[in-house]
Chains A and B, each alone.
Chain A
Amino acid sequence: MICQECHQRPATLHFTKIINGIKTEVMICEKCAQEKGEMFMDAGGPGFSINNLLAGLLNMESNIQQTKANAFPKTEERRCPHCHRSYKEFVHIGKFGCAECYKTFNEQLNPILKRVHSGNTAHIGKIPKRIGGTIYLRKQILDLKEVLKVHIDQEEFEKAAEVRDKVRSLEKRYEAQEGGEEL
């Protein structure tokens, strides 16, 4: 099989592209693939690079959005106010320029994160001790409020009262910390 791009070298790569449901088969040599950027080749050697592959997924995302009657016509041009990276650049490289990008492109983020992290979009792990202090407290309060609800629903009023007191004391601590006071 001869490469369908250069018509000279043998085609060593065979892949299938599916864009908006349209399937295209491509037979291509490694050199053309790299030059065209069609294949997500890792410059360091054969095989796929996760990041390049991700760029592919993100590209797919923007293709879908474009066909959705231009639901987000300005997405491509939007730029992060801190690092000035555009969404288009992010999609091309597959990497954000700074923490602010997460806010700037928040709207587009959920479908991307879902795809990469098996449907998950929210963090449930470690909270940094110092800067995360109030976040940690708030999370505890929210969790306890859920427990409180269950106790009330099941008419376990004594247990509910205990939890309510805990919530109140945590709320006080939270207010104190938010106000900048040391505990």
Chain B
Amino acid sequence: MRQFLVFVRKECYHIFRDKRTLLILFGMPVVLIVLFGFAITNEIHQAQIAVLDHSQDAFSHRLINRMTASGHFAVSHYLSSRDAVETAFREGDIKLVLVIPDRFGHDFHHARKAPLQLITDSSDPNTATTLTNYANAIIMQYQEEMGGKTDLPLTITTAVRMEYNPSLKGVFLFVPGVMTLILMLVSAMMTSITITREKELGTMEILLVSPLRPLLIIAGKVLPYIALSFIISLLILAMGYWVFGMPVKGSLVLLLLECLLFGLTALSLGILISTITNSQQTAMMISMMGLLLPTILLSGFVFPLESMPVPLRVLSNIFPAKWFIIILKNIMLKGGGLQQVWLPTLILSGMTVFFLGLSIRNFKTRLS
């Protein structure tokens, strides 16, 4: 046991001596959380649009003013002909073109129906949909303003309540996501690369002939990273709480235990990767190519899992990130306890045991 502790201490020295890595390890989460927390929203402001106004009267000018006053749109081009639309789009920055026909106001008041055309650059379907929705809402308002408001019979009013995140903050989704990404990185990538590094530099052999059992050697290498990933979790949680007002409605103790558990799952994955690779480069590529995109895409971090095709939803189950994000959202935003998150917890524990078992088996065959 004493020997083991000495070994752990030596590993800690190794980590703490490398000031640069430490700086990255602690600086990175801070930068990422701040950057994404503030930068990534789904609300679009000041999208560049072009206007093709054939009418050129007070009505059309007022409509254009309404569009820009909303803050969602900024008119960057006034087009003069239909052909200019194509060019404007091709240059790349225009997202929407508003086409106002001749005699717009006149038609509204006399024919009681005024046509209007919205052309969107739908190469990005989401932005196109969002902008069309904004534009339609503004146009509807303008229509009421032009026509004078009338009280209509049989009106259904709908009260919408947004549970758990009333202001629809994107950051409530991003903090758990970034936290998962970073813990995955620190734990899985770091361990996989540290162990293969010893192999690559040939120092593993030296370690293996030491009186410490191989299992303890691995444990000793991993222990400091558990501590590190835990400290990083604390850092991210603190930032989420104080900077972005992300609540922790459930038990903090449970939340911390779950962070520890996820750290362990990722670490065991890292150990597994290191048992099947011999060079740092391969280990890194496996963790980077194999874990990075799936962790972002298949965890429900960026895209909702529910709208994916069934095979992908099934596939997402094998990525620990998915389960951890469910746990985080449940405990932090909904105030769920263990009875709400027992299943993902059990799955993460199961994965940990499975990865560890597999790596111990691999590790032994490698030695013999």
- A and B together in one complex: no
Question: B residues touching A (Cβ–Cβ < 8 Å)?
Answer: none
Instruction: Name A residues whose Cβ lies closer than 8 Å to a Cβ of B.
Output: none
